[in-house]
Amino acid sequence: MRISKKKVERWKRGRLGEIQLELTKFKMEEKQRKTYKQEWSAYNLAQTNEFRMFQDMLIELIDSTIDLKQKYKKNGRPFYNLKDMIFCCVMKVYFGKSSRRNVGYLQIAKGNDYIKKVPHFNTLLNYYRNPLLTSLLKHLVEQSAIPLRDAEMDFATDSSGFSTCIFSRWFNARIGKDSERRMFRKCHICSGVKTNIITAINISEGYSHDSPYFKGLINTTSRNFQVREVSADAGYLSRDNYNAVHEIGAIPYIMFRSNCSIRAKGSLIYKRMFELFEKHNKIFLEHYHKRSNVESVFHMIKRKFGLFLFSKSDIGQTNEILCKCLAHNICVLIQEIFETNVIFDSDSMTRKIVRGYYAD
């Protein structure tokens, strides 16, 4: 059968027209992308009242979630109340000033009866190195997210590094001279994709892998929240992590790599999500791209409280990051109070921890 050239050209024009129509629809969808408008009236109220409300909410959070049984030593210099020191450590991070310049702000806090005594600036730096502070700050970060338990059902996990003032140096045999690089600490978090509240946190060395911390972050979040979805990048890809999300009754959207196999190997949820990724990629990506909100969380923390750590010890650096994240959560709560009328009170903090301690 012989086909005329005119018919072939007509077919080509028809096919090109279909392609052009598809491109036009795609461009129209891009133009109609969903945007989120800023409620400027609520934002302005939150920012102008943040300084006053931050201190009130921080002291309320500390008093309602921590019950310390303080043991006094017979000899030596008496030590400060640990609740006051937690308040001072977080406020230092919030103001972003040096320990010496921070004393002036703490004197204002003392005048408003937030603390009983203004510590010496060296004393404040010493308390950053207190190991007991790590568990208390981590607990405060988790409890500060509870008032938003009704607003968050979808979560995302990721990690980011914070620079330190410490360098590692070694002799590079390839170039024949010494080399150096700045060390950093890595912060692993799980956060809500709607309000950007941090629900679980862990701190590790700078070059540690992300995947081993995934299950702990998800399990901690599931104790305080009803989890519906969890999004994560390919750094967390493993069948164990897929199973961990499935065990808490949520749907995992962890990005697959190009060399991934559909074989279940004991993880049926991994196989089902891989089929969704292959056959309905657009639907998978719509849920997966909620993960970008966790990048916004790190941007908010670093932009407002700095990406540099001043502490030199590992414990001090860990506690400094925890203070930044706690300050971020309180700022998020203040924003939500004006935007969605969230009620923040001591009744929402049901769990308390009781500890006895000795100060160094």
CA 353 to chain centre: 23
Q: How far apart are CA 227 and CA 252, in angstroms?
A: 10
Report the SS3 class of residue 96.
coil
Q: DSSP of 244-308, one letter per residue? A: HHHHTT-EEEEPPPTT-----TT-HHHHHHHHHHHH-HHHHHHHHGGGHHHHHHHHHHHHHH-SB
Structure tokens at 178: 């010494």
Q: Which residues touch 118 (CB under 8 Å, ≥6 apart)?
A: 103, 106, 107, 109, 110
In the three-class reduction of DSSP (H, G, I as helix; E, B as strand; rest coil), residue 225 is classed as: coil
- Tokens 């308040």 belong to residue: 87
pLDDT in 10s for each residue of the chain, 360 residues: 455 555 545 544 554 455 455 555 555 555 556 666 778 888 898 889 998 899 999 999 998 877 766 555 556 666 678 889 999 999 999 999 888 999 999 999 999 999 999 999 999 999 999 998 999 999 999 999 999 999 999 999 999 999 988 877 777 777 777 777 788 899 999 999 999 999 999 999 988 899 999 999 999 999 999 999 999 999 999 999 999 999 999 999 999 998 888 888 888 999 999 999 999 999 999 999 999 999 999 999 999 999 899 998 999 999 999 999 999 999 999 999 888 876 665 455 555 666 665 544
pLDDT tens digits along 229-242: 999 999 999 999 99
The single residue listed with the structure tokens 């997966």 is 288
Q: Kindly state the tokens that stand for 344.
A: 């923040």
How far is it, in rounded angstroms, from Cα 279 to Cα 138? 41
Helical H segments across the chain, by residue range: 5-31, 40-48, 50-65, 82-95, 99-111, 121-128, 131-144, 214-224, 239-247, 268-279, 281-288, 292-305, 314-340
Q: Please, what are the domains in the chain?
A: 40-148+312-360 (no CATH), 152-309 (3.30.420)
What 3-state class would DSSP assign to 116? coil
255's tokens: 């990005």
Please, is 205 exposed, middle or buried when counting C-beta atoms within 10 Å of its C-beta (0-12, 13-18, 19+)?
exposed
